[in-house]
Structure formats: C-alpha cells, structure tokens
C-alpha cells in the first residue's frame, strides 16, 4: 500500500451538522405538494442524494424548469437557516494534523455550488480540490465524484481516506476503492457499516479514529 497522501471530505453532516436544517427545508418545501415528510422520509428519499435525482423521484410531475425553481427556493431557505453553524467536533484537530502531515485536502459533495461556497466561507475552510457532483455526469452514490477527486489530486485510491456521514456517500467512496470513515451525525451505525464503512466514529475527536489513523501512517 502506498503512503497516505490525501484526506477527502464530504460536506453536509461531515464538516458541519446541517442535516436537521436540510430536513426542515425539505419538509417545508414539500408541504404545498401534499407530501407530509418526516425524519424517516427524509433519510429514505433525500439524505445523501443529488438534488435533481431527488426531485425526479418524489416530484416527477414537475418540468425541468419547475424542478430547478423548486430546488433554488429550497436551497435559499436552507442558507437562510444555516447562518452560524459550528464545525463537527474535532475538525479543528484533524485539519492542522493533515496540514502537518502534508496531506492533500479535497471536498467531494453532492451539495449545490451556492451552498458549498456559503458553508466553506462560514467554516473558514479552503480545499485545494473541490468536487461538486452536480458538475459531473453522476453524483453520489455513484463512484464518479470520488474517482474525479483522485484523478484531480493525481493519487490512487489506496493513498486516500474519505470521511462521510451517509450510506450514499459511503457507497460512492467505497465504490472508488477508498478507505472510508463514517461519522454518526445523521445515520445509524448499522446502515453506515452495511454501506461499507471501514470505521465508524462519533466525530473527529473519537479516539478510535486517531488510533486507526496512526496505523494508516505506518
């Protein structure tokens, strides 16, 4: 196995806990269409998926233009609510650790570009590589976003570790051959493990993570 060269991060639920805000925004947006969504509905039909795919699945009656307008309104509502979110605990620990180790840092997300820019500015983070799935031919759970990140960084899958919080994101990273650490910010451990997570931790402060990272650097 080649030496570790980069850490690849999802955004929503991985860098900051946004799931509850996305859930609320989706619940509000779907009400006019007679859909009484709840937490279970959100996790089944929305979490970890690409926005256009979600609309095609649950609002197939909308035209392309109507779907785009719906999503724009929903994301505006999300950004209104996501004005001052704290980072996931321990992010301030793993970030400087990665820099000290001279590791590449990449963001791989299904989030729309406007949301990405909003949240990275809010968190004060800069990545050398940002992969936005909407700009690709396929989003998560397809492996393409993570494969694109590897190609952009010029590394192989065994040189990277991915951090995810949803089964969809885990399947994407694992499908690209990347060791994947799952955070339990929004989904149950069983679902994360079933999706193929190498390790499941509470957050970036979890000692299990640091013990495991030490082994990956050997």
Could you tell me which of 183, 3, 16, 2 has the C-alpha nearest to residue 83?
Answer: 16
Choose, from 12, 19, 165, 203, the residue flagged as catalytic. Answer: 12
CA dihedral of 96, 126, 105, 177, whole degrees rounded to 10? 130
For this structure, is 158 an active site residue? Answer: no
The edge-to-edge listing of strands for the beta sheet with 6-9 is 129-132, 104-109, 6-9, 160-164, 179-183, 199-201
The rounded Cα 162 to chain-centroid distance in angstroms is 10
Please give the positions annotated as active site: 10, 12
């Amino acid at each position: 196995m080649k030496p570790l060269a980069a850490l690849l991060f999802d955004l929503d639920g991985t860098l900051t806990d946004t799931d509850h805000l996305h859930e609320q925004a989706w619940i509000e947006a779907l009400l006019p269409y007679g859909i009484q969504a709840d937490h279970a509905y959100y996790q089944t039909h929305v979490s970890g998926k690409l926005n256009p795919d979600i609309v095609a699945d649950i609002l197939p009656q909308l035209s392309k233009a109507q779907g785009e307008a719906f999503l724009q309104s929903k994301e505006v509502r999300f950004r209104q609510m996501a004005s001052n979110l704290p980072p996931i605990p321990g992010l301030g620990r793993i970030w400087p650790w990665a820099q000290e180790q001279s590791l590449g840092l990449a963001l791989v997300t299904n989030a729309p570009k406007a949301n990405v820019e909003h949240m990275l500015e809010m968190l004060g983070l800069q990545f050398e590589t940002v992969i936005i799935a909407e700009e690709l031919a396929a989003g998560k759970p397809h492996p393409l976003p993570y494969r694109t990140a590897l190609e952009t960084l010029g590394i192989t899958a065994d040189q990277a570790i991915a951090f995810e919080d949803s089964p969809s994101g885990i399947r994407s990273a694992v499908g690209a051959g990347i060791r994947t650490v799952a955070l339990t910010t929004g989904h149950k451990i069983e679902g994360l493990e079933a999706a193929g997570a190498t390790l499941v931790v509470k957050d970036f402060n979890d000692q299990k993570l640091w013990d495991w990272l030490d082994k990956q650097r050997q």
